[in-house]
Amino acid sequence: MDAEPTPTQVDITFKNYRCFPDSRPARISLRNGLTALVGVNNSGKSSLLKFFYEFRSLFQMLSAPTGNLTNALEGERQGFSLGPSVFDKEEVFCNLNGRDLQLELRLVPGKGGGVPLALPALSSMVITVPRGTDTWVAELRVGGKPIEVGRGLGYSGTELLVGGESVADLAGLFHVCKALGQTLYVGPFRNAINIGVNEDYFDIQVGQAFIKQWRQLKTGKVKRHNEAAYRLTEDIKGIFRFGDLEINPSPDDTTLQVFVNGRSYKLPELGSGMTQFIVVLANAAVRQPSYILIDEPELNLHPSLQLDFLTTLASYAREGIIFGTHSIGLARAAADRVYSLRSVAEGESEVSELEQTARLSEFLGELSFSGYRELGFNKVLLVEGVTDVKTVQQFLRLHKKDHQIVILPAGGSQMIVEGREAELEEIKRISDSVCALIDSEREGPDAVLDPPRASFVEACAKAKISCHVLQRRAIENYLSDEAVKRVKGSKYRALEPYESLKDVSPAWSKAENWRIAREMTLDDLNGTDLGEFIASV
C-alpha cells in the first residue's frame, strides 16, 4: 500500500493555558518525527504535553467539515469535553489573570506532496475558550486577515463558502486536527500489575484490564492485532538480546507469563523496564495513533535502552512522538526538535527552542559519558546530524552494538568545517575511544571533498580520531529499495549512489531515514563501505 501524503504541518501557540499566560505564550511546531520537551520538575513540560490529551475532543470536532466550525465562526459557542483528568474547568486556565484561553494553529504546507491549500491559502485558525467554560468560538485568517463571515457559511467538499463563494480550502486544517484528535497519551506511571481490574491510566489500559487486552491482542479474531502482538514480541526480543521470547497471559488474567530463552518467568520477576515495553507498545499497537505523547520515557530504563524504547515506540506512531523528559542528553540524541521549559515565577513558565551548541564536549557532559561508560558503553560515535543518530542506531543494532556506543550529533555543517581542533581535543580528554562518520556530499565517484569537510577530516586525524567519510553521497544513499518501498510505498525508490534526496520525486524527509533503516538487514549493508565501518567500530 502506498503511503499517504505528508500532512500539513502546524505551529501552535497557547495563551492563558495553565502556566502559560498571554504575556509569555507557549509556541511549538509539530512536524513528523520526535519532539522533546526538556525541563526540571514543575517547569511546565507535563502541562504542555497533557494539553493535547485534555483538548483532544476539540480537535476531533475540527477534523471534518461540520456545522460546529461554521457555528463557531459565526460566534455561537460550541461545547466540547475536556479530558477526564480535568475535575474543575477552571484548572486549565492560567491563574495569573482573568482572561480567556486562546489557541492559534498556523498551517505550514508540508513538503513532498503535502495536502494542498487552494488560493487564497488559509494561514491560521484562532480558537478562543471563554474563561471557566468548556465551550469555544473560532476565527479563520487568510493572509493574516480574518475571514468575514457575515454572509452565511457553508462547504463545498473541504472548501469554506461565504455567501456561496469559496474563500479557502480547509483540507490542511482538517488533516492537522484529525491527527491531533488521534493521539495516545502515556503518563509517567506505567505498571501492568498494580492497578485495579478495570481501570485505565489516561489512554493506556493497565493492571488486569491490560492482561485481558493482551490475550485478545494475541489470540483474538483480528489478524491485524495478532500480527501486532507478534511484531511487538519480536521488537522486544531484539532490543533485550533474547534468543527466544514468548509472552502469554496467566490463566487467571492477573499477570503475564514470559518465556525467555526457554525459561519461564512471571512479569514481576523481569522488572518494571520490561513491563513498560510490553504495556506501552501493546497499547500503541492497538490504537495506531498519529502522535504518541509520553511523559518521562526514561523512567525505569537503563540508559542503554532509553533511545531504543523511544525509536521503537515511534515506529508505532503514524506521525511521531512528543515526549517530556528531564534528560537533555536523551532529548538531543533522540529528538528532531527540542524545546526547553523553565519556571520564571510561581505559576508561570517559558518555552523556547533549545539553542544548538557547537561545543561537543558539552554534549558529552550533559550525557554524563563517564557514567555511561560504567554502565557498559565503551565508545563515542560522532555522526553528522540529529536525523543520523537514529539511523545509525538501527545499523548498530544489526551488529548488536547499539548498547555499547554513545551516538552523538556533530551539529551538521556548523561542525563539519575547519577550525574545530579544540572541540575534538576536548572530547579526547573525556574519552580516548572516539570515531566519526560523515557524509561525503560527493556528486560523483571521482569528486573530491569540499574544503570544509576535508579540513574536518584533517582535524580528526590530528586528534587521532578515526573519521570515516562515506563513499556515497550521504547516509540515505545506502537505504535499500526494498526497505524504502516497505516504509513509503511502491511510488518511492532507493537513491542512486550520488543522487541528492531533494532531487527525487517523490522524496521522503531525512527525518524518516531511521524508519527505513529499521527495515534493513545485514545483507543490505554487507559489501558497502558503511557496512564495513559499522562492523569495525
Separation CA 204–CA 284 (nearest Å): 8
Residue matched to cell numbers 563515542: 380
Axis crossing angle, helix 303-314 with helix 386-398, rounded to the nearest 10 = 100
In the predicted structure, residue 261 carries a pLDDT above the cut 80: yes
Among the residue ranges 43-47, 168-172, 196-200, 355-359, the one predicted with the least confidence is: 355-359
**Mean pLDDT across 526-530:** 95
Cβ proximity of 214 and 247 under 8 Å = yes
Decide the pairing of beta strands 337-345 and 33-38.
Answer: parallel
**Mean pLDDT across 197-219:** 82
Separation CA 120–CA 229 (nearest Å): 46
Separation CA 429–CA 445 (nearest Å): 36
Separation CA 177–CA 56 (nearest Å): 9
Sequence-distant (≥ 6) Cβ neighbours of residue 90 within 8 angstroms = 132
The whole-number pLDDT of residue 429 equals 66
Pick the residue with more confidence: 502 or 301?
A: 502
In the predicted structure, residue 508 carries a pLDDT above the cut 50: yes
Pick the residue with more confidence: 486 or 375?
A: 486
The whole-number pLDDT of residue 116 equals 42
Residue matched to cell numbers 511510488: 491
**Mean pLDDT across 322-333:** 86
For the question of whether the overall pTM of this predicted structure is more than 0.85, the answer is no
Sequence-distant (≥ 6) Cβ neighbours of residue 323 within 8 angstroms = 34, 35, 36, 37, 49, 293, 294, 295, 296, 297, 310, 334, 335
Distance set, CA 492 to CA 3, 115, 229, 292 (Å)? 9, 18, 28, 26
Starting at the edge strand found earlier in the chain, the sheet holding 434-438 runs 405-409, 379-383, 434-438, 466-469
In the predicted structure, residue 525 carries a pLDDT above the cut 60: yes
Sequence-distant (≥ 6) Cβ neighbours of residue 516 within 8 angstroms = 479, 483, 484, 486, 487, 488, 508
Cβ proximity of 281 and 316 under 8 Å = yes
pLDDT tens sequence across 13-23? 999 999 999 99
Q: Which amino acid is at 457?
A: V
Separation CA 392–CA 395 (nearest Å): 5
The whole-number pLDDT of residue 326 equals 87
Sequence-distant (≥ 6) Cβ neighbours of residue 514 within 8 angstroms = 311, 387, 390, 391, 393, 394
- pLDDT bucket at 250, cuts 50 / 70 / 90: confident
Among the residue ranges 98-107, 200-209, 343-352, 404-413, the one predicted with the least confidence is: 404-413
Domain boundaries, given as residue ranges, for the chain: 9-30+63-170, 191-270, 359-536
Pick the residue with more confidence: 117 or 88?
A: 88
In the predicted structure, residue 346 carries a pLDDT above the cut 70: yes
**Mean pLDDT across 349-364:** 62
What is the full DSSP assignment across 159-177?
EEEETTEEEEE-HHHHHHH
Q: What is the mean pLDDT of the chain?
A: 86
Q: What count of other Cβ atoms lies within 10 Å of the Cβ of residue 126?
A: 17
Separation CA 436–CA 512 (nearest Å): 22
**Mean pLDDT across 180-190:** 88
Q: Which amino acid is at 177?
A: C
Residue matched to cell numbers 482538517: 174
> According to the per-residue pLDDT averaged within each range, which of 48-52, 143-147, 195-199 is highest?
48-52
260 DSSP 8-state letter: E
**Mean pLDDT across 453-469:** 90
The whole-number pLDDT of residue 25 equals 95
The whole-number pLDDT of residue 193 equals 54
Cβ proximity of 360 and 434 under 8 Å = no
Cβ proximity of 355 and 418 under 8 Å = no
pLDDT tens sequence across 128-163? 999 999 999 999 998 778 888 877 899 999 999 998
Reference 74, options 144, 204, 162, 155; nearest CA is 162
The whole-number pLDDT of residue 386 equals 80
Starting at the edge strand found earlier in the chain, the sheet holding 263-266 runs 245-249, 256-260, 263-266
Separation CA 295–CA 46 (nearest Å): 7
Q: Outline where DSSP puts E strands in 118-203.
A: 122-129, 135-142, 145-146, 153-156, 159-162, 165-169, 184-186, 200-201
- pLDDT bucket at 528, cuts 50 / 70 / 90: very high
Reference 485, options 2, 32, 113; nearest CA is 2
Reference 516, options 525, 529, 528; nearest CA is 525
- Stated as kind and residue range, the H or E segment containing 246 is strand 245-249
pLDDT tens sequence across 414-445? 567 666 777 777 777 666 789 999 999 999 99
